[in-house]
Structure 1
């Protein structure tokens, strides 16, 4: 039997290992915001969830019930016919099941290994550039504007009212040991459901948009945006988070693989908005308030977002000729320098070392996705 000193030394060793990451964060050796002392997982702070990987996991023949280990037969509010059809056809195999509470409701998610049929987009040879934004969620190089529903703004009044109601209830207090009242719990549940509804609406809209784009165009070009840096703008942070730029790109990454297309990610510093899609001239500065792009070289007058989307679509020819793989980009390692030339004519989508805001070709990145069936 180990002594008390041995157990104490083992605990200290584990704490030191855990605090090593904290020290590296605070000293600047690791990227990201600093973390605090590690806290143990608690059922009061964490989301209730349980995952089953072995045992009886199946869908009942009536499509309205599932069987899980230790929980038995559970009734579903939604039909599981799609999953049941794949299981009966032998094109899917359940790997695990996760039961999770979200927004006051219990959900069961099945991780399934699926044999997908080889598909092709409706327009295999078509290429589209996608410029995401706040005014319009996505602007395509074809001139199509995808509206931004702004679900969080629409529900902001209700969320504020529920938040004020929750603040007037008797909540928990860790210092005095005060337990929350039942009215506080009900108000917290209502606020959680309101937030969950906004998240579900946003997720559904992004899925519909990305599925349509991946199933229509053979090649899609998007930007590598610094979303974490954009969220530091306190005036636009809420609108940027509500749009879901990162989720849109994540869904396009795996849906293009499913549909047989390809996704090209432009370099983060590629000046898509500052470049003229007609003659290739690059502007040194382009304020965000200037919504119409006016070229001083060729006289092109075009919407700022459509011009950026056209420049993204023009990257496909450069990537194809350079042979840098399915996911690549062109751009600069820093912002457009103010001391450079104001306008330099070049072919749209090309990059040379002596031009403002561009450098020689850079390597690309690959995307790995995981498929889930719910």
Structure 2
């Protein structure tokens, strides 16, 4: 249920919010951050959306705010991020971010709750039977368990992406075909549990918030097959080979770390959105976040070179979503 601005306001105690038709609602979490911005005149509430997720009611405010210019802790730092299943992310700096696998760890509980739900008398459209109260309670327990897994995954991704955006000036990631990867029935559950698309989405807007940029490497760039030492490209590299061995220079390195270093090296060959210069080999990174009021246009097969620019709205005011749980 969505409400537009008008009668939406935060009470002075910052524990209650007033919404149209619903009236005064008590919040489980304090709305002090939102109230401070509204009182200071740096934020304006545009709308509010009420939804139920995992048995809990949430109200999300769409807020137009004035953001101050930020700079990363290391503006000249470049980091390549290679995502995977064994490790959620391998950074070109050598850091290994473990994959928590929240869904895999909760499978035992989810299976038990799913069996309990199947034993209760559920709805039957053909017979016109209505579900029992026990069925509703069992369904709520299963929904809360799934919501907990989603919240844990989202929390871990937010912490990782926030740290990367605040520390490094340039972040390079791959343009993965996640929908195609999900066709692998042996790895589909683990890929979905990792949240590759969500990680990239968060990096895209957080890099802009912190004054950095996100570069997306071309989908066909051989980051895993290329030697980060001499640049030799192997013709084949099986997925089971976790260690990269170069026959030319003798480099022996972890497969994911080698790919992360190759991604970091692409930062110097990326398309410059302001001058329209293209990477020397034509297969480098082809997209980056908007900088200085410009946006890069991805090159399509059979079209003009990438680097064409267009204007975007002023960056002084942006839209943000603040989520608060209500009773």
TM range (shorter): 0.7 to 0.9
Residues 219/365 of structure 1: CA separation in 2 closer, same or farther (3 Å cut): farther
CA offset at residue 331 of structure 1?
A: 3.1
Looking at secondary structure, tell me which structure has more strand per residue: 2
Alignment correspondent of 2:94 = 143
CA offset at residue 178 of structure 1?
A: 1.1
Q: Secondary structure at the match of 1:173?
A: coil
Alignment correspondent of 1:363 = 306
Q: Which whole-Å deviations, capped at 9, do the CAs of 1:48-76 have from their partners, x for residues lacking one? A: xx111043101111111001111111001
Asked whether the equivalents of residues 172 and 179 of structure 1 are also in contact (C-alpha less than 8 Å), the reply is yes
Asked whether the equivalents of residues 48 and 60 of structure 2 are also in contact (C-alpha less than 8 Å), the reply is yes
Q: Secondary structure at the match of 1:371?
A: strand
Task: Tell me whether 1:216 sits opposite 2:159 in the alignment.
Answer: no
Greater RCO, CA 8 A, separation 6+:
2
Asked which structure has the greater CA Rg, the reply is 1
Residues 285/191 of structure 1: CA separation in 2 closer, same or farther (3 Å cut): same
Q: Which whole-Å deviations, capped at 9, do the CAs of 1:165-189 have from their partners, x for residues lacking one? A: 0001111111221110100000000
**Structure 1: which 5+ runs fail to align?**
1-49, 333-360
Alignment correspondent of 2:136 = 185
| Structure 1 vs Structure 2 CA RMSD | 2.3
Q: Secondary structure at the match of 1:94?
A: strand
Asked whether the equivalents of residues 57 and 67 of structure 1 are also in contact (C-alpha less than 8 Å), the reply is yes
Equivalent in 195, 219, 226 of residue 275 of structure 1: 226
Asked whether the equivalents of residues 267 and 330 of structure 1 are also in contact (C-alpha less than 8 Å), the reply is no
Task: Tell me whether 1:294 sits opposite 2:245 in the alignment.
Answer: yes
Asked whether the equivalents of residues 113 and 142 of structure 2 are also in contact (C-alpha less than 8 Å), the reply is yes
Distance in 1, matches of 2:278 and 2:114, equals: 47
Task: Tell me whether 1:259 sits opposite 2:210 in the alignment.
Answer: yes
Distance in 2, matches of 1:255 and 1:120, equals: 12
**Where does structure 1 differ by over 2 angstroms across 4 or more consecutive aligned residues?**
320-327, 329-332, 361-366, 368-371
Residues 292/319 of structure 1: CA separation in 2 closer, same or farther (3 Å cut): same
Distance in 1, matches of 2:269 and 2:283, equals: 12
CA offset at residue 232 of structure 1?
A: 0.5
Q: Secondary structure at the match of 1:255?
A: helix
Asked whether the equivalents of residues 65 and 319 of structure 2 are also in contact (C-alpha less than 8 Å), the reply is no
Q: Secondary structure at the match of 2:241?
A: coil
Task: Tell me whether 1:236 sits opposite 2:179 in the alignment.
Answer: no
